[in-house]
Amino acid sequence: MSSESLSVPVLFHLSTAAIPQTASFEGKGAAWFFGSICFHCKNSKKKFFFYCVTALFQLSVALPSTFPVTSTQPERMFGVVVVGVGRAGSVRIRDLQTPPPPADPLKLIGFVSRRELGNINEAKQISLQDALSSAEVDVAYICNENISHEEYIRQFLRAGKHVLVEYPMALSLASAQELWKIAEEKGKILHEEHIELLMEEFAFLKNEVAGKELMEGTLHFTGGPLDKGKFGFIAFSAISRLSWLVSLFGELSFISATMEERKEDQYQKMTVHLETVDKRPLTWIEERGPELKRERHVNFLFESGRLESLPPPAQGNKNIFLRDQHIFVKKLLGQMSTEDLAKEKKRILHCLEIADEIQKYC
């Protein structure tokens, strides 16, 4: 069949079919299309003009459905302020300034700090009051000391901002429940970071535990001393260990707890006895002192055998805060199911409830 015998609709159909999915309209298919019109209408200027106008109209109607346009920019950007510029806050600022593609729809407005720091890597320092009142700020990242989390969360939620907070969100179950109530009343997201559940070591444990019947187990963490005045009671500052145990073995019952402490040596050793719903004993030991390396030790006995070691930390943990941010953005965009949100909230509150019980005994 020659191009002279083709109608404009047929030419259009063939030409659009010839355009590769990754090509733009200026690609080979479009060139073939208009070249065919030129050949078909070479002896009639009027016919050429008429076919071109008709073809362009058909293209304007058909191309959007043939090649859906996907914008490289999100529909809206959320302005973010970071409160606290310690280790976590600095990493959050870095991730907001240089996100790898695909970037989250977040824009760093500035940071809040009690210290006068000026700018950090072009991020400007702003006052707390400006952060609370600014229409540019939609989100607050709370990254300062644990004892300050509750009050900052409350202020930003009441100011109508979404909140991402490093764990723990509060130093009591009652306070956390109050904060979640405020978030729900304001229609805002309250996200507590739990990067420990994104670590490769946890993924390894989850895979090893799956389908096995636990007989008994111990999780023992060692690390340097923490200032209780800044980080709160040890069961709250170390709540990520509880988060591991609850995520691996389900809801736990508190049995007892003891605390060995030598303040002059900055030494603490907390031993907590827990129980699964199947009455299997679990022990959590949190030990801190100047000479102790940051390590996790496990000893889980199953009917099928014993697990006594974790793999060494891997490079997969490198962008762990960024992965947590992706989860937060899913919540902002309404892309997380109500069921998953409720499950996460239940786990967080359950861990805080156990920490409350431990504090009463210690």
Catalytic residue numbers, as ranges: 166-167, 193, 196, 240-241
Q: Report the interhelical angle of 28-40 vs 8-18 (nearest 10°).
A: 160
Long-range contacts of 205-211 (CB under 8 A, 24+ apart): 205/244, 205/248, 205/298, 205/307, 205/310, 206/247, 206/248, 208/307, 209/248, 209/249, 209/300, 209/302, 209/307
The candidate with the shortest Cα–Cα distance to 255, out of 170, 172, 360, 176, is 360
C-alpha separations of 6 from 18, 66, 78 in Å: 16, 21, 52
- Three-class SS state of 282: strand
DSSP-derived pairing of the beta strands 252-262 and 214-223: unpaired
